Structure 1
């Protein structure tokens, strides 16, 4: 997934299934990124450049996001 008209710098996003997605480097809330990727924020933990962040944080530029699915059961 690569929006057109990008600046050549993409934000790297590592998906829960192990795949990688690049998004244009514009700053946006983690919450917006998850919505764009059709990921329920209540089912994942997100790290931004190696630290766990809330969905109210902003990411952009050459940031690296990793999205981990929360596994639960009994």
Structure 2
């Protein structure tokens, strides 16, 4: 399992994908992390997708622009 960024003692786990569509295979590491570390807060995938979406199990998939705006507004930290 490999997660690109883990912030503030699992307050947020962030995966970065340079693709226009994030599929189930891309979410595997974040799902495994939640099982191993149930205290994990936000699970976020930053991608080239054009719209934000939330998976059934709570993973937030964001266009990179939305992610940057969320960082500046301290939405996740």
TM-score (norm 2): 0.28
Larger Rg: 1
Q: Higher RCO, 1 or 2 (CA under 8 Å, sep at least 6)?
A: 1
Higher helix share: 2
- Report the TM-score, using the length of structure 1 for normalisation: 0.28
